[in-house]
Amino acid sequence: MTMTFIGGGNMATALVGGMIARGMHGADFRVVEPNDAQRERLAGRFPGLRLHPAADAAAIGGSELIVLAVKPPHMREAARALAPHLGATATVLTIAAGIRLVDLARWLDGCPRLVRAMPNTPALVGKGISGVYALPGVTAEGRRLATAALEAGGDVVWVDDEAMLDAVTGVSGSGPAYVFYFLEALEEAAHRLGFAQADARRLAYATFSGAIALAQASDLEPAVLRAQVTSKGGTTERALAMMEGDGVKARIVAAVEAAAARARELGDAFGKDA
């Protein structure tokens, strides 16, 4: 099996590295990367990796899965460079935020074998999650290849409506930033209560990772787990009462909805022809 990545940045590096860790080989991959220094770094990290400065027949021909891993503003240019070399059977997977398949198909001269994914940054350490949608023209094998590539970065959730990827963006695409924001606040609180900065960070990180591990190990809903920690008249009840009084939960929900709305706006903007 051969996969070609258009773009050799962090996400492409993470996915290639994850698949190699699962038993594939550097020679199974081609990476189109115009930056000389980045090609050198990739060559040093993944022996046997086939590297190309541009998307041409040598880079594309014979690939079963082509992963478009360029930034959204560069997607139109990358797709149009790819189009003349795209065969009749290869599946194309895009991991660029906000690029709708109707626009990508137009830039690829009507290619029907398109899959769109919204991964998040924890994929860089194999702990991400991707929302994925495929056009009807994608075969079962194409879906399998896309899943295999994305699972190298973490979990995969397939959706039946491409519009749901805007919701995925609001929840999990932008979600790591929400978690980091909460960690900042928890660390700051610990520091203000007298802990050295390093210990404040340890307390914040361990509390968050431990709570997530406990939730994942339990069949109970988060609301039930929260109630189990909240004793009547205790410290947790007072803290949560303050959060509820300030509408923290409602504002988080509103923030996620705002991020999803912005994803829709960006899709409109990226889809406009120059």
> pLDDT of the chain along its 274 residues, tens only?
799 999 999 999 999 999 999 999 999 999 999 999 999 999 999 999 999 999 999 999 999 999 999 999 999 999 999 999 998 889 999 999 889 999 999 999 999 999 999 999 999 999 999 999 999 999 999 999 999 999 999 999 999 999 999 999 999 999 999 999 999 999 999 999 999 999 999 999 999 999 999 999 999 999 999 999 999 999 999 999 999 999 999 999 999 999 999 999 999 998 876 4
- For residue 269, tell me if it sits in a domain: no
- For residue 126, tell me if it sits in a domain: yes
Q: How many domains does the chain have?
A: 2
Q: In this structure, which amino acid lies at residue 82?
A: L
Q: What is the dihedral of CA 256, 261, 265, 268, to 10 degrees?
A: 110
The answer on 236 and 111 residing in a single domain is no
Q: Which two tokens stand for residue 121?
A: 């940054």
Q: Which of 121, 137, 162 is the last residue of a domain?
A: 162
The answer on 184 and 155 residing in a single domain is no
Q: Residue 31: how many CA atoms within 13 Å on its side-chain side?
A: 31
CA-based nearest residue to 115, from 87, 149, 83:
149
Its domain, for residue 28, covers 3-162
Q: Which of 141, 162, 183 is the last residue of a domain?
A: 162
- Which residues make beta-bridge pairs with 156? 130
pTM for this structure? 0.92
CB 6 within 8 A of CB 34: no
pLDDT, position 4? 97
CB 99 within 8 A of CB 74: no
* Number of other residues whose CB lies within 10 A of the CB of residue 34: 12
From first CA to last CA, the distance across the chain in angstroms is: 36
The answer on 18 and 110 residing in a single domain is yes
- Domain holding 225: CATH number? 1.10.3730.10
CA-based nearest residue to 38, from 23, 26, 27, 49:
49
pLDDT, position 270? 86
For residue 155, the surrounding DSSP H or E stretch is strand 154-158
The answer on 195 and 105 residing in a single domain is no
